[in-house]
Structure 1
Amino acid sequence: MVERIMPEPFRIKMVEPVRVPDGAQREKALEIGHCNMFGLRSEDIYIDLLTDSGTGAMSKQQWAALMRGDEAYAGADSFFALKNAVKDVLGFDYVIPTHQGRAAENVVFGTLAKKGDIIPFNMPFDTTRAHIFNVEAEPVDCVIDEAFEPEVQHPFKGNVDVAKLERAIAEYGRERIPLIMITVTNNSGGGQPVSLENLRAVSGVAKKHGIPLFLDAARMAENAWFIKMREESCRNMSLAAILRACMDTADAITCSAKKDPLVNIGGMICCRTEALYQALLPRVILFEGFATYGGLAGRDLEALAQGLREMTDEQYMAHRVAQVKYLGDLLEEGGVPFVKPTGGHAIFIDAAAFLPHIPQTAYPADVLSIEIYREGAIRGIGLGALAFAIEDEKTGKLILPKLELYRLAINRRTYTNSHMEYVAESIVNVYKRREKIRYGLKVEYAPPVKGLHHFLAHLKPYTL
């Protein structure tokens, strides 16, 4: 029996009408969009769970903050509002605004990494990998083995395996590793958290070898909440205190502010030393804008400053994580296989277990995305072979990822609990007819850029 969920800790002040397109309209949308969820128009979607990036609702305080925006090119008051919020909430002395998270990745990897370098991770996400590939470096997964077992219950499946990390440093050599990065929460592995104990252990390894430790901190507040709930030594700490303790383990962070910091656009790099700050600034100015606006309007800087403070509200975060769990509980009741335990920002359905009769080379996660859209006009996204498979440069063989997942990313403060019930019912309906899904997908077009296939791919169904 699914437990009753707490009601939303907000009330609705403005509504955005949405419609449910009929079956014929959905089929036409799939045709026009080349069976790729990124190719669908928003008007063709009833519940859009493609991503939680920039899709949440801002608070009345954030909307009010927009009016304070100082649009000065250099030294705007709004930049200093952000700088103060970063110092108060995260503890970093230096902040570089960017227009979004991948821009921060472009600045960091474009400045610090070079051809032949190795970047150890727990697991990098898609754009992070693509930026590393773009400078002809390589990411190396050092996540714990439990991350690749969807049904295994482990409280911190995003943890770095410290022994794997040490082996990677020994194998590749300190001189080839410009930085270590940990993604919190671990999006590629099912939105799974990293423990504070593990962050401190990795920080110790990084310091021992003289390697800077970065966090990909887009979902840092959700990660801190899981630490509060699951790490015994942190149960009596506030969410804000745990978040600060996590930040204290790192030399710097990159952040898509479109996730936990609750804005529709924006990102940032935060760091401790002036030396790193100054090293990164030329690329910021070249690609983003001046150091004090980084591609954002002053009003966006103000909304971000406010969002950083709001993301540690414990009542909000309790509901946020509980709503995702509620969807997971409903799916589990219907027998749908997904990554356990429930992640912080999304449900990751195990597409390989959902559609075991479809080979991974036929992209079962993306087949599932089509069928769930057909069923309920719901948009999620496949995160399996289409997104993460890479060609071995020596053998030419396709290296498939260990996980074939379909993600339902829950927008912050946007959908109600009844929306989650509709989503669950639709997916359970697809699960009941799963044996009748007898087709795969082939790629008719994809951009010739390593790591970016799934964003722009044209897919065509074929009968198995």
Structure 2
Amino acid sequence: MVEEIYQSTKEEREKWIEEKDYNLFNLESEKVFIDLLTDSGTGAMSDKQWAEIMTGDESYAGSRSFHQLKNTVNKITGFDYLLPTHQGRAAENVLFSALVKEGDVVPGNSHFDTTKGHIEFRKAHAIDCTIDEAFDSEIIHPFKGNIDLNKLEKVYKEYGKEKIPFTLITITCNSSGGQPVSIENIRNVRELSNQYQIPVFFDGARFAENAYFIKEREEEFKNDTIKEIVLEMFSNGDGMTMSSKKDGLVNIGGFIALNDKELYQKCGNFGIIYEGFLSYGGLAGRDLAALSQGLDEATEYSYLKSRISQVEYLGNKLIEYGIPIQQPIGGHAIFIDAVKFLPNISREEFPAQTLGIELYKEGGIRGVEIGTILADRDPETRENRYPKLELLRLAIPRRTYLQSHMDYIAACLKNLFDRRHEISSGYEITWEADILRHFTVKLKKK
């Protein structure tokens, strides 16, 4: 659908963001001109998906729409067992309830905030084994989401299979800038994990975009279809979680897909407790049907080429203006290196959050901080964790904005970049939650 957006004045925006304690999450959507807070559930569905909405089967148990989705997930991923959930973090909650216990460690590439939150909530630890190239925004590496096998084996040797319930591969890797993982790396992780008898799971929220980059950058797969690449990716895992609000092309939903019947049954018990019966998992039948169609559309090259080209267009504009971003350009978002953009703001004053606030005031554009606020405090010391990259993420909703919107975003950022040396102070926290603080944190000017 088309909806009207209101272009406010800078004075209005300065007042609004101050009233919301400088937390971009707190802004009402009508006070945002272009919303790049997230690509999760913010895209537009196709005509075929809307048709599925009208024919969804709302039966509580054994819905036709569930079986339609189950068959689609099996065809696309190869996994035999399906548990729907209402969104991705719900899938994590169910799976981790079955597998993660106090004192465990979960290695992988850069875990996203909710993933790490679910691990730490269970008094376990997430360990980042991403390759070092991912943490230098200027290095060009085709697969910055890759896991460093030496780092991973060090974790395996130190903790062993008794303390490691699984290794998690996030595709694409959001926290390192929407960067893909190669199939070569996935295969190597699987082979190493087999040696130590450790299962491998995927966070597949953006699996189709990952497959697109494999087709474009990994020689072995240049003539394969996206669906063929996806099957090969997932053949190296024991299961996956999915936030369907990304590459499922729907506004709500998620799932767990597994090969092990015993684990499916264990997760199913938690699913019934937390989400609903096994065949609906907190979703309406129409949502299951729309997701089935969305997964099929998202794994077509023509769609992915169009979607990722729009992100590349914006990224190349910013590179042309000299603005420091994570390169190569990722699949779902542009990640601006806030430390390089705002050299006068110390890490203690949250440069990525500062840049996000300035961009909102400049043009009504809402992004999200992927930096120190999101990284939370160390659960034991309660000291701030300072990640290697301090990023402002501009996530592009799927099938939503036009090229003219991208030009506007680039122009606003150029305006800010041209006067970056005038921005000399950041923010401090006045209130925060114990975990996942960035959603509700309150700030004031330093």
Q: TM-score with structure 1 length normalisation?
A: 0.95
Give SS of 1:391's match: coil
What SS does structure 2 have at the residue aligned with 1:173?
helix
The answer (yes or no) to whether the contact 2:160–2:196 under 8 Å persists in 1 is no
Identity of aligned residues (%): 51
Which residue is equivalent to 2:283? 296
- Alignment partner, residue 415 of structure 2: 429
Where do residues 60-459 of structure 1 align in structure 2 (5 Å cutoff)? Answer: 60-391=47-378, 393-394=380-381, 397-448=383-434, 450=435, 452-459=436-443
User: Using the alignment, how far apart are the partners of 2:333 and 2:182 within structure 1?
Assistant: 19
- Residue aligned with 1:305, SS: helix
Q: Distance in 1 between matches of 2:384 and 2:7?
A: 39
- Offset of residue 439 of structure 1: 1.4
What is the CA–CA distance in structure 1 between the aligned matches of 2:8 and 2:384, rounded to whole Å? 37
Equivalence for 2:444: 460
The unaligned stretches of length 5 or more in structure 2 are: none
Give the Cα separation in 2 of the matches to 1:57 and 1:290.
28
CA distance in 2, matches of 1:166, 1:390: 27
Q: Deviations over 1:304-358 (max 9, x none)?
A: 0110100012111101111101100000111100100000000000001001211
**Matching residue's letter, 1:327:** L
Question: Does the residue aligned with 1:299 lie in a helix, a strand or coil?
Answer: helix
SS of structure 2 residue aligned to 1:302: helix
Q: 2:190 touches 2:200 (CA, 8 Å); kept in 1? A: yes
Matches of 1:191 and 1:346 in 2, distance apart? 7
Counterpart of 1:8?
none
Partners of 1:353 and 1:345 in 2: CA distance: 22
After superposition, the C-alpha distances for 1:252-305 in whole angstroms (9 at most, x for unaligned) are 000000001100000000011211111101110001000100000000000001
Letter in 2 for 1:438: S
Q: Deviations over 1:203-223 (max 9, x none)?
A: 111222221110000000000
Deviation string, structure 1 residues 75-100 (Cα, Å, up to 9, x no partner): 11110010011111111111100000
Q: Provide, for residues 114-162 of structure 1, a one-character-per-residue CA deviation record: whole Å limited to 9, x for no partner.
A: 0000000111000000000111100000110101111000000000011
Residues 389 and 401 in structure 1, CA contact (< 8 A), matched pair in contact too: no
CA distance in 1, matches of 2:99, 2:76: 26
Q: How far does residue 73 in structure 1 lie from its aligned partner after superposition?
A: 1.1
- Once residues 13 and 236 of structure 2 are traced to their aligned partners in structure 1, the CA distance between those partners, rounded to angstroms, is 47
Give ranges in structure 1 of 5+ residues lacking alignment.
1-13
SS in 1 for 2:335: strand
Residue pair 1:158, 1:184 contacting (<8 A) in 2 also: yes
Whether the 8 Å contact between 2:372 and 2:384 is mirrored in structure 1 is no
Structure 2: distance between partners of 1:244 and 1:185: 16
Q: Hey, what does 1:11 align to over in structure 2? A: none
Secondary structure of 2:426 counterpart: strand
Is the 8 Å Cα contact of residues 392 and 399 (structure 1) preserved in structure 2? Answer: no
Using the alignment, how far apart are the partners of 1:245 and 1:321 within structure 2?
A: 21
Q: How far apart, in 2, do the equivalents of 1:391 and 1:244 lie?
A: 37
Residue 23 of structure 1 pairs with residue 7 of structure 2? no
CA distance in 2, matches of 1:96, 1:42: 32
SS at match of 2:430: strand
Q: Hey, what's the Cα distance between the residues in 1 that align with 2:102 and 2:379? A: 17
Q: 3-state DSSP class of the match of 1:390? A: coil
**SS of the residue 2:176 aligns to:** coil
* Alpha-carbon distance, 1:392 to partner: 6.3
Q: Which range moved further: 24-33 or 416-425?
A: 24-33
Cα distance in 2 between the residues matched to 1:373 and 1:153: 29
Alignment match, 1:7: none
Give the residue type in structure 1 aligned to 2:350.
Answer: Y
Work out whether residues 32 and 39 of structure 1, in 8 Å CA contact, stay in contact via their aligned partners in 2.
Answer: no
Contact 2:147 2:185 in 1 (8 A): yes
Structure 2 equivalent of residue 6 of structure 1: none
CA distance in 2, matches of 1:79, 1:201: 34
SS in 2 for 1:107: helix
Deviation at 1:72, TM superposition (A): 1.1
Q: Note the aligned Cα RMSD (angstroms).
A: 1.0
**What letter corresponds to residue 293 of structure 2 in structure 1?**
Q
Counterpart-to-counterpart distance in 2, 1:333 and 1:214: 38
CA distance in 2, matches of 1:285, 1:198: 35
Q: Which contiguous aligned blocks of 4+ residues in structure 1 show a shift greater than 6 angstroms?
A: none
What is the SS of the residue equivalent to 1:199?
helix
Do the aligned residues in 1 keep the contact of 2:343 with 2:421 (CA within 8 Å)?
Answer: no
Contact map agreement 1:392 1:398 (CA 8 A) in 2? no
Taking the aligned partners of 1:359 and 1:391, their CA distance within structure 2 comes to: 20
Shift of 1:28: 2.2
Give the Å deviation of 1:389.
Answer: 4.1
Q: TM-score, normalised by structure 2?
A: 0.99
Q: Is the 8 A contact 2:344 2:425 kept in 1?
A: no
